[in-house]
Structure 1
Amino acid sequence: MWVFYLISLPLTMGMVGVTLRYFAGPDVAGYVRFTVGYTWFCSLSIIILVPADIWATIVNHDRGGISFFWSWSYWSTFLLTWVVVPILQGYEDAGDFTVRERLKTSAHVNLIYYLCVGSIALCGVILLVNWGNNWSGGILGFAMACSNTFGLVTGAFLLGFGLSEIPKSVWRNADWTLRHKVLSQKVAEMAVKLDDALEEFSNAIVVAQVTSKQMSKRDPLRPCMNIIDNMLVQMLSVDPSFKPQGGKLGGNDMEYDTDEKTMADLRRRLKKAREEYYRYKSEYMNVVTEALELEDTMKNYEHRSSIGWKYISSLRPERKGKIGTSLDVIELIWLCMLRTQFEKLLAVLLGCMSVAILLAEATILPSGVDLSLFSILINTVDKNEVLVQVNT
């Protein structure tokens, strides 16, 4: 079993690390990176635990270690889902100037969320008290049941969407004409969102600058304004090319110097506007780049004979030398010839996997007939540890 751990554990941690590095911004705090990485690792730990658990069950191996890791994964996910992540999200979103005030704001924002969860839990406890004869362990079991129900319902919706949408989207992406229309529409939509985000970001900067100029150095709120000023300087130094354009300012845009709460609102508005602007900017650039690459592929396929079967890109300079020419030929063959067929084959395989999962889910009850492809594969390899874990 240790061979499987040596493969699956680094693979899972590598997936978490690569994903975290791809999505995390440069200014994300270290504790946020750690929390998100740990959360993803707990979610993906199923890749490690399920094959090992199935193998231990088949060979009647001692499951003490597996049970411990299942408990660790379960309770870590439970606490992260219901306590740590909601509080941390509210804390990072708050614009207050002290840790205590940010925690208070986060708790206030999540109050409705916790009231709903607490109401459900209270109703469950009341039912346990009224109906249960011996419910000494009922509260813990009820909490686990609520968490499992939430996870199963959410997973069912996401699974149902993924089983149909992923194969369809992969198949549609293989059609260049359809994909080009979709990307053109996305470019137009993202351009509108980016323009709105730019206007809001510029407005927030202008409001902060005007508020700072109007506030005297002896104002009690000046320390809060100094924090916002330093934040502005850092924002503008990261992207010197960005120039606030201003926009239509309303009457409420100049009422942020009343008290510390309004100053926190100004700081929060500035942070939110910056994040939305750079998020939409990144998405817009990605969509535009994908559209240009698709247009290059279509042009290279159409004129492949006249250009000597070499891929010519409008986004990068031409490669030099014999190796560069060979790479251009390989790139043309892959992008213009093989990639479309590979995507169609992948869509078919994903569709077959979706059907197999649905069939396994539909026959999960003990009916005497095993129509699960995964169960059949596991039973076929008998007690070969490596094959059982690979099939799982």
Structure 2
Amino acid sequence: MQSYTKAGDFTFGSKLRSALIDNIIYYGSYLLIVGILLLYIAFTDMGLDGAKLRAIAASASNTWGLFWLVLLLGYGLVEVPQSIWHSASTLHTLHQAYFRAAKLSLERAESNERVSDLLQSMRALGGSIGLGHPLRPHMDVIESKVPSELLDSVRRHPPPDSPHADVPSEKALVRLHKQVSHCSKSLLEPFLHDS
């Protein structure tokens, strides 16, 4: 479902196909590793049968669970008292706030740059897709996800006329749609206030 929602395609079928391809790649790698391990066990002199396979699966499951239990419990036993100790120190809280402010400022500058690049891409692609173009409905879907203030700025500054302007493909529009979908409203809001 996550791959389906992150897909930048425009139709149900193409989104579903992209999600299936992503999941096949992801889970196929796990199945390949498990298959290699099963082949290794089968070709060694262990004599693989149903009971031994169940024992291997149970021990692997218990090992995985114990690993996470130790990892998370150890983190909780150390981090909770440490965070309580640090929250009592005003100097530590002040330094942490300075660090967070600097980090947020850097993230905001990077977000502004990403949105600016995205708007330039929209300007370039939108300028070569006219009203009668067959890909215009896809461009309308992309534009519907952009706040109206940013969309007006894109439309006010048309791209420079180039005699060799490439007509965009559906794949380029899918890529742009994916980028616009990943730009959340919280990413676009600071950019609106700067304009």
**TM-score, normalised with respect to structure 1:** 0.39
Where do 1:1-392 residues align within 5 Å?
88-127=1-40, 129-130=42-43, 131-132=46-47, 134-135=49-50, 138=53, 146-232=60-146, 236=147, 258-274=168-184, 277=187
Q: Is the CA contact 2:130–2:136 (under 8 Å) kept in the aligned structure 1?
A: yes
Classify 1:202/1:149 alpha carbon distance in 2 versus 1 (closer, same or farther; 3 Å): farther
Amino acid across the alignment from 1:135: G
**Structure 2 unaligned blocks of 5 or more:** 155-164, 191-195
Instruction: Supply the RMSD in Å over aligned alpha carbons.
Output: 3.4
Q: Is the CA contact 1:91–1:105 (under 8 Å) kept in the aligned structure 2?
A: yes
Classify 1:93/1:276 alpha carbon distance in 2 versus 1 (closer, same or farther; 3 Å): farther
Classify 1:155/1:268 alpha carbon distance in 2 versus 1 (closer, same or farther; 3 Å): farther
Q: Is the CA contact 1:90–1:110 (under 8 Å) kept in the aligned structure 2?
A: yes
Amino acid across the alignment from 2:144: N
Classify 1:162/1:184 alpha carbon distance in 2 versus 1 (closer, same or farther; 3 Å): same
Q: Among the aligned pairs, what percent are the same residue?
A: 24
Amino acid across the alignment from 2:171: K
Q: CA deviation at 1:150?
A: 3.9
Aligned residues: 178
Distance 2:28 2:101 in 1: 41
Partner of 2:193: none
**Equivalent position SS for 1:220:** coil
**Structure 1 unaligned blocks of 5 or more:** 1-87, 246-254, 282-392
Which of the pair has more CA radius of gyration? 1
Q: Is the CA contact 2:125–2:168 (under 8 Å) kept in the aligned structure 1?
A: no
Q: CA deviation at 1:103?
A: 2.5
